[in-house]
Chain A
Amino acid sequence: MKQERKRKIYLDHNATTPLHPEVKKALIAAMEVFGNPSSLHQFGREARKLVEEARGKVASFINASPEEIIFVGSGSEANNTVINLFSCQGFHSCDIPGLCVQKKEIITTKIEHPCVLESAACLKEKGAEVCYVGVDQYGKINLAELKSSLSEHTGLVSVMTANNEIGTIQDIKKVSNLVHAAGGLLHTDAVQAVGKIPIDVKSLEADYLSFSAHKIYGPKGIGALYIRKGAPFCQFIRGGHQEKGRRAGTENTLGIVGLGKAIEMRKKEMADEFMRLEGFKKRLKEGIQKNISDIRFNGHPTEGLPGTLNVSLSGAEGEAMLLYLDMEGIAVSTGSACASGSLDPSHVLMATGIPQEQAHGSIRMSMGRDTKEKDIDYVIDKLTQVVKRVRKISSVSTEVKHG
């Protein structure tokens, strides 16, 4: 029992991931390279070589060309950059004068990451039309609603490839076909998708695609944005010629090397891991179903990220479960308001139409490359105990059935 307590099981890979050992090695080696990639001397050239090598790896992984990739500080920055293309009023000599003036309408969904939702809300205050398309009970975007929202005024549509909370994967190709038919541009936040499921920007027909390194065993503070050749673009961070004038600021060589290596390792490991995590998810789901009553799984039953399982447990509040699980060494996350610092439960779960109390009582378990089969059984066992414990304290009387 005492030994069991010391177990540490990390089931929060959608929040962030540990560094891949190979990435760590690459980072340590790259620490010696301090030159500014923009410098023409040998120190600079050495750094430039690392940056461009990484760009090549990243580009080929999503079937883009290297010049279509820019490095940014995070997935959030990538998303902000794209949404903000439509914030400029065409006053000054930008690359796409008037784009936002002609096309003032932006469409996104109710389940996007806050960095998309809040950027869009900010544009709304500046006078843009912003429309939020709903999703069904599994978190799939309502394509009919999207179609009817599109018009010749639609400038940009931003739909995430896979959802961080419930793992639901969207049909981005279908979305982009609709958007392009209406003359708009398509951005997809693929932070949870790149490196977990195959992503091909050409087949998705995306105009912009964002992702980051730390969700796929790379370092924090580095992300990438794919900008289709010919797609309108305008700097978000100004004042430098870096990234071909598309993102100012001295390149984060170390982060870029880490992202490149993380992508290289994903290329090797992703397919096997996908199968393994799908198996674990099935086992975890079945175990929970067998042991615990009054539950409901959130997200799409078949079109979801491998290794992401979100479950609502009636009568048990999320933060209480999270903290009891933490004491058992198990790290999960919750859609409960109490854990978020805000007072509203998860906007994603609410968008799928589940009752508020089920959103408060949800936990998300996201597995990854370090998750072991024996962990799953331990988690099922501990979760069963924790739910029993929380339900015993709970004023909501489901616990009767669990004695």
Chain B
Amino acid sequence: MDKQTDWLYTDKVKDHFIHPRNLLMDESKYEADGRGVIGNIKCGDEMVVVIKVDKEKGVITDLKWKTYGCASAIASTSVLSELAIGKTLDQAYKLSSHDIALALDGLPEHKIHCSVLGDKALRAAIDDYYTRQGMTDKVKEEKEHVICQCLGITDAEIESAVLEGARNYYQLQERTKIGTVCGKCKDKSVELLEAYKKKYFKDS
């Protein structure tokens, strides 16, 4: 390849963008044990994650994905597939957007929001697997409600952000990136923010 001037992204991002790993080619032929979809193309990002699980060991044996989104969204899902395969369901459930960004040697500041979708799509797929297996006690996300449709941020995440110190909408956005895409969830999230503040910190 030509020697090109500096790319916006790291070499890792570029590599995963040019050579996406574990891409889902034909979903109709893929027998998934769990499937998760997160995001919304209206907001510019949408991801589909399907997994196969070794039911004895509780290990993810395969993960395939598809992403509508920019280079960092594509690379994020691609690297996520490498991170998740071989992990136990519990381990995989704990993968965070931070882990994804680290595995890509970092993402530009304004692109972090693109990486917060992959791990959510994976958790949605794992929850779907639990649901299909009748292990509904294991499903965590179902108890939560998605508030920010664009980034799939739930009320539980707003709650923990408040517990971690977010006191206003700006701080909440800093922690969760909520409402940084279409912004339509602002009223609802401010309402929840105030409610959680009241619940935990009566004085504030």
**Residue-wise interface mask of A (348-386) relative to B, using a CB-CB cutoff of 8 A (1 in contact, 0 not):** 000000011100100000000000000000000000000
Q: Which residue of A lies closest to B48 (CB)?
A: A395
Whether B69 is near chain A, meaning CB under 8 Å from some CB there, is yes
Report the minimal beta-carbon distance from B177 to chain A, rounded to whole angstroms.
Answer: 10
The answer to whether A395 and B71 touch (CB under 8 A), given A323-B17, A343-B113, is no
B25-75 residues at the A interface, CB under 8 angstroms: 25, 37, 41-48, 66-74
Instruction: List chain B residues, Cβ under 8 A from A344.
Output: 182
Contact of B71 among A323, A337, A396 (CB under 8 A): A323
**Residue-wise interface mask of B (110-130) relative to A, using a CB-CB cutoff of 8 A (1 in contact, 0 not):** 110110000000000000000
Distance A355 CA – B182 CA, assembled complex (angstroms): 13
Say whether A339 contacts B70, CB under 8 Å.
yes
Whether B106 is near chain A, meaning CB under 8 Å from some CB there, is no
Distance A344 CA – B48 CA, assembled complex (angstroms): 22
Say whether A392 contacts B44, CB under 8 Å.
no
Whether B195 is near chain A, meaning CB under 8 Å from some CB there, is no
Q: Which residue of A lies closest to B18 (CB)?
A: A327
The answer to whether A320 and B2 touch (CB under 8 A), given A392-B23, A395-B37, is no
Q: Which residue of A lies closest to B46 (CB)?
A: A395
Say whether B42 contacts A394, CB under 8 Å.
no
Say whether B37 contacts A317, CB under 8 Å.
no
Instruction: List chain B residues, Cβ under 8 A from A396.
Output: 41, 46, 68
Instruction: List chain A residues, Cβ under 8 A from B110.
Output: 341
Distance A265 CA – B61 CA, assembled complex (angstroms): 65
A197-234 residues at the B interface, CB under 8 angstroms: none
Please tell me the size bucket of the interface on B: 20 to 34
Residue of A5, A320, A396 contacting most chain B CB atoms (<10 Å):
A320
Interface residues on chain A, number (Cβ under 8 Å): 27
Say whether A360 contacts B66, CB under 8 Å.
no
Instruction: List chain A residues, Cβ under 8 A from B71.
Output: 319-320, 323
Say whether B1 contacts A327, CB under 8 Å.
yes
Say whether A356 contacts B69, CB under 8 Å.
no
Instruction: List chain A residues, Cβ under 8 A from B47.
Output: 395
Report the minimal beta-carbon distance from B44 to chain A, rounded to whole angstroms.
Answer: 4
The answer to whether A395 and B23 touch (CB under 8 A), given A6-B2, A356-B43, is no
Say whether B44 contacts A336, CB under 8 Å.
yes
The answer to whether A393 and B18 touch (CB under 8 A), given A320-B69, A320-B71, A338-B70, is no
The answer to whether A393 and B74 touch (CB under 8 A), given A6-B2, A323-B17, is yes
The answer to whether A343 and B180 touch (CB under 8 A), given A336-B70, A338-B70, A396-B41, is yes
Distance A337 CA – B2 CA, assembled complex (angstroms): 28
Say whether A355 contacts B42, CB under 8 Å.
yes
The answer to whether A5 and B66 touch (CB under 8 A), given A336-B44, A393-B74, is no
Instruction: List chain B residues, Cβ under 8 A from A317.
Output: 44-45, 68-70, 73
Say whether A395 contacts B67, CB under 8 Å.
yes
Whether A134 is near chain B, meaning CB under 8 Å from some CB there, is no
Instruction: List chain B residues, Cβ under 8 A from A315.
Output: 68
Q: Which residue of A lies closest to B42 (CB)?
A: A356
Instruction: List chain B residues, Cβ under 8 A from A337.
Output: 43-44, 181
Say whether A393 contacts B23, CB under 8 Å.
yes
Contact of B2 among A5, A393, A395 (CB under 8 A): A5
Whether A345 is near chain B, meaning CB under 8 Å from some CB there, is yes
Whether B86 is near chain A, meaning CB under 8 Å from some CB there, is no
Say whether A338 contacts B2, CB under 8 Å.
no
Say whether A5 contacts B1, CB under 8 Å.
yes
A1-32 residues at the B interface, CB under 8 angstroms: 5-6
Say whether A395 contacts B44, CB under 8 Å.
no
Say whether B20 contacts A360, CB under 8 Å.
no
A323-345 residues at the B interface, CB under 8 angstroms: 323, 327, 329, 336-339, 341, 343-345
Residue of B44, B45, B67, B74 contacting most chain A CB atoms (<10 Å):
B44
Distance A272 CA – B68 CA, assembled complex (angstroms): 41
Say whether A393 contacts B42, CB under 8 Å.
no
Say whether A338 contacts B44, CB under 8 Å.
yes
Instruction: List chain A residues, Cβ under 8 A from B41.
Output: 356-357, 360, 395-396
Distance A365 CA – B50 CA, assembled complex (angstroms): 36
Say whether A319 contacts B181, CB under 8 Å.
no
Say whether A395 contacts B18, CB under 8 Å.
no
Say whether A394 contacts B67, CB under 8 Å.
yes
Residue of A327, A360, A393 contacting most chain B CB atoms (<10 Å):
A393
Instruction: List chain A residues, Cβ under 8 A from B23.
Output: 392-393
Report the minimal beta-carbon distance from B108 to chain A, rounded to whole angstroms.
Answer: 9
Q: Which residue of B lies closest to A391 (CB)?
A: B68
Instruction: List chain A residues, Cβ under 8 A from B48.
Output: 395
Residue of B1, B67, B69, B74 contacting most chain A CB atoms (<10 Å):
B69
Instruction: List chain B residues, Cβ under 8 A from A343.
Output: 43-44, 113, 180-182
What are 24 of the A-B contact pairs (CB < 8 Å)?
Answer: A317-B44, A317-B45, A317-B69, A318-B70, A319-B70, A320-B71, A327-B1, A336-B44, A336-B70, A337-B43, A337-B44, A338-B70, A338-B73, A339-B70, A343-B44, A344-B182, A355-B42, A357-B44, A360-B44, A392-B25, A393-B66, A395-B41, A395-B67, A396-B41
Which A residues fall within an 8 A CB radius of B? 5-6, 315, 317-320, 323, 327, 329, 336-339, 341, 343-345, 355-357, 360, 392-396
Which B residues fall within an 8 A CB radius of A? 1-2, 17-18, 20, 23, 25, 37, 41-48, 66-74, 110-111, 113-114, 180-182
* Other A-B pairs, 4, CB within 8 Å; known A320-B74, A338-B45, A356-B44: A336-B70, A343-B182, A360-B44, A396-B46
Which 5 residue pairs across A and B have the least CB separation, nearest first? A338-B70, A319-B70, A395-B66, A356-B42, A357-B41
